[in-house]
A and B are shown apart, each in its own frame.
Chain A
Amino acid sequence: MESILVLTHADETGIALTKASLEAVSAGLELTSRLGVSLTIGIVAVDAQSAAAAVSSSGARLLGVSGEPFRHALYATDAAACEALCRAAQATIVLAPGSSRFARVAAGVAHRLGGFIDTHIGSIGGTVNIEAGRWFYRQRVEAVLSRDRRPWFLLIDPGIRSAFAGEPGPAQIEQVPANLPQLRTTVSGFRAPSLGTQTIRPDARLLFVAGAGWTKKQPDGQTHVPEAGDLILGFLRVAGASLGSSKSLVDQGGEGQSVLPFLTHLNQIGQTGATPHHPKGLATCCHGEEPHVVGWRFIGDRRAVSLDPTCGWTRGKADVVYIADAFQVMAKLNELMGSGSA
C-alpha cells in the first residue's frame, strides 16, 4: 500500500506556506482520497508550527523542520531538511511543488533515499498504479509514465491546481531534526534583473508578448524603439499583464541593435525560455514560430496582432489573429483602457 508525503516550504516570511506548496497539498489530498491511503505533510520553514496553520484542517499528519537556516533556499540546508522529513515519514510517494526552491534539491533528496524522481508533473491519474503526465521536448510531446520503484518523487508544476484553502487553525506538528552539513554558501538577497520595472507577473491573467517586430523599421523607414517601449510599458500598467518576449528580441541586446531596456532573458518565452501559465495571451510583432510557441503550451485563450497574414499564429496556434500594425492598435488600446502611452 502506498503512503503519501507532500513536501512544502514557506515563503520569504518564513511562516507562511507558498501558493505552490498549497497546490501540492491539494494534489496530495486528491491522490490519497483516490487511493484510500494516509497523507503526511512535511514543512520546511523558519517557523513550521506557524506555517502549519494553513493546512491544519487537511486531516494530515504534520511534520516540520524549523529554524533560521531554513529561511532561504539553499541546496545544503533544504536537502538536509527534506531528507529528514522523508526519513521521518517513510512515504512511498513524495509530492512536492515544482518551485525554484524544491526543483533545486528534490532530485538530490530522492537519490539520498535511494528513490527516483520525475518532474514537471501536470497530471496524476490511475487508481491501481499511479500514472503521471508530463511533457517532453519542451512541451512538444505529451507522455504518461509510471514507475514501480519506490520512493517515487513527483515534482508538480505550479499554477495547474487550485491551492488548498481549508480554514486555518492551530496545528499539531511533530518537529523533525535535520542534520546540517558545514555550510559553504550564504544567500545575500534578491536582485531584479533591470532597475525600476518589474515586468514578470506570474499571477497575471494576461501574458503580453513583444516580438522582434517592435524594433524593426516601420512604414516611415525609421525604427521607433522608445515609442515601442512606452506603448508596451503603458499597456502592462493598464492591463496588469506579465511581459514575455521572443528570443530574437532579447538576443538583439547582444548583437548591438536597438533594444527595449526593460527586457532580459528572464522575459524570454519558448524553447529556451519560460513556459508560463496564464489564462490569456496576446502576442504582438511576433512571427509565432514553433520554437517560441512551445512556450505558450499553458496559455489558454490566445490572440495575436501581426502584419504578416501567413505568420505561425494563423496556422492553428492562436484563436484570433488581427492583421494590423501593432503600434497603432496598442496606442488605441492603451487609450481605451485608460492610460495612453507612458
Chain B
Amino acid sequence: MQTAFHIVVCAGIVPDPLQSLEPITTTAGPGLKNEMVLPAVLDPWAASALYEAAALAAKAPGGRLWLVSLGPKAKLQQVMMTVAQKVLFELAPIDGPIGGFPDAHATAAILADMIAALPGLDRERLLLFGGWESAARGAGVTLQLVGERLGISDQFQGVDQIDLHDDGSFEVLERVEGGKYQVSVCAGAPAVLGWATGNLAEPRNNPQLGMANMRTIMPALQKAPASKLEANGLSYISAALPKQQRTTRVVKDMTPDQIAAELAEWIGTE
C-alpha cells in the first residue's frame, strides 16, 4: 500500500515568458518596469512540481497537497484563477513582494515559517516540492534553504522522476552533467525535491475543479499574512538588459550546396 504523503509545493509567480522585461531602479532596489501589470504565470518548473505532486497525492488516500506562494495578493489571485483549474490543492499564500531581485534567504525564512505552521501538516510525512530554479531569480537555493530550516537532510535537485515503493521509500532521478540522471533511493519522507520538467504534461483546464479550489483559495487569500523581506546585506550595483544585439546577415539567395559548404567551413574553423 502506498504511503499517504503530505506534500508542500513552494511556487512563486513570474512574468509570462513572452513579455518584454525592462529593469528599473525602485526605492527597494532593482525591479521591472510595470511589474504589477505584466501578465504573470506560476513559475514553470514549480508548476511541474505541482502537477507531479498532485499525481502523487492522488495515489494514496489521506495524502494532502498544499501550495505555498509568496507574492502580492492581487497577482496571486490572478494567477490562481488559472492554476486552480489544473489540480486540487490547498493554498497557503503570503502577501509580499514580487520579482527576482529580493534576497533568497529572506524568502526562504518566510516560506519555512509558513510551512512549519500549516495546520494538520505531519512533518514525518512531508515531501517538500518546488522548482529546482525559478524563472525570476533563478538561483536554485530557496527550496534548499527552506529544507535546511525545516531540518530535512535528504534533498534532491533537478528531479525528473520519483518512483514510490510500497514501504514508503522512493527512487529519484536527478539531472547531472552530461545529459545523465543520478539514481538514488531514499528511505522515505521527509525529503526535499526540486523538480525540473518531470514527466507529466500540463493538465487541461477543468472549470469545475477551478470553482471547487477557489472556494478555499479566496478566503485563504483574504487572510494571507503580510511579509517584508530582509535585504541580508545584499545590494545591487547595476541591473540592465544585455547590450549585445547582433547584426544579422540574412542569406536568401544561396543553394543548399552553397550553404552546406559555407557551414562546413564555419564549423571547421576555430
Contacts and interface: CB of A to CB of B under 8 A. Distances in A.
Interface string B200-240: 11000000000000000000000000000000111111111
B107 to A, nearest CB: 12
B260 A111 contact: no
Contacts of B263: 282, 303, 322, 329, 333
Contacts of A187: 182-184
A138 B240 contact: no
B150 to A, nearest CB: 11
Interface residues on B, range: 35 or more
B37 to A, nearest CB: 17
Contacts of B145: 107-108, 111
Nearest to A98: B140
Contact of B238 (A76, A143, A254): A143
A280 B201 contact: no
A330 B257 CA distance: 10
B179 A111 contact: no
A309 B266 CA distance: 21
A189 interface: yes
B264 A336 contact: yes
Nearest to B131: A272
A290 B21 CA distance: 11
Contacts of A105: 144, 155
B141 A119 contact: yes
Contact of A329 (B144, B160, B200, B256): B256
25 contacts: A75-B154, A75-B156, A137-B15, A137-B32, A142-B242, A146-B236, A184-B187, A185-B184, A185-B185, A185-B186, A188-B183, A189-B183, A190-B182, A191-B181, A192-B180, A206-B267, A239-B267, A266-B175, A305-B259, A313-B248, A316-B246, A318-B248, A319-B247, A323-B251, A329-B260
Contacts of B140: 103, 107, 119-120
B105 interface: yes
